[in-house]
Amino acid sequence: MAADINKHAHQEHPLALYLKVWCLLFILSSLSYLVDYMHLQGLLRWTLILGFMFLKVALIISVFMHMMWERMALICAILIPPLSLSFFIGIMLLESNYTLLSRLTFFSQP
Amino acid sequence: MRSEQGDTEVGLKGLVKDWSGDKEAFDVPWGKAMMWIFLLSDTFVFSCFLIGYMVVRMSAVDAWPLPSEVFALEIGGQPIPLVLIAIMTFILITSSGTMAMAVNYGYRKDKKKAASLMLLTAALGLCFVGMQAFEWSKLIAEGVRPWSNPFGAAQFGAVFFMITGFHGLHVSIGVIYLSLVAIKILKGHYAAQGNYEIVEITGLYWHFVDLVWVFIFALFYLW
Over residues B19-41, mean pLDDT = 85
DSSP state of B65: P
Fill in the amino acid letter for B202: T
Three-state DSSP at A42 gives: helix
Is A79 in CB contact (< 8 Å) with chain B? Answer: no
Rounded Cα–Cα distance for residues B154 and B63 (Å): 9
* pLDDT tens digits along B137-172: 999 998 899 998 888 899 999 999 999 999 999 999
Under 8 Å CB-to-CB from B33, ≥6 apart: which residues? A74, B26
Confidence at A38, pLDDT banded by 50, 70, 90? confident
Residue numbers in B near A94 (CB within 8 A): none
Fill in the amino acid letter for B207: H
pLDDT for B74: 79
CB contact under 8 A, A13 and B104: yes
* pLDDT tens digits along A62-94: 999 989 888 888 888 899 999 999 999 999 999
User: Which residue among B26, B60, B101 places its CB closest to the CB of A18?
Assistant: B101
CB contact under 8 A, A15 and B101: yes
Rounded Cα–Cα distance for residues A81 and A89 (Å): 14
CB contact under 8 A, A99 and B55: yes
Q: CB pairs under 8 A, 24+ apart, for B67-70?
A: B67/B220, B67/B221, B67/B222, B67/B223, B68/A36, B69/B151, B70/B139, B70/B144, B70/B151
Rounded Cα–Cα distance for residues B32 and B10 (Å): 33
B contact test, residue of A36, A44, A86 with most B CBs within 10 A:
A36
pLDDT for B170: 96
Residue B182: closest CA among B89, B119, B105, B124: B119
pTM (predicted TM-score):
0.88
Contact B21, B1 (CB under 8 A): yes
Over residues B75-85, mean pLDDT = 82
- How many Å lie between the alpha carbon of A27 and the closest alpha carbon of chain B? 10
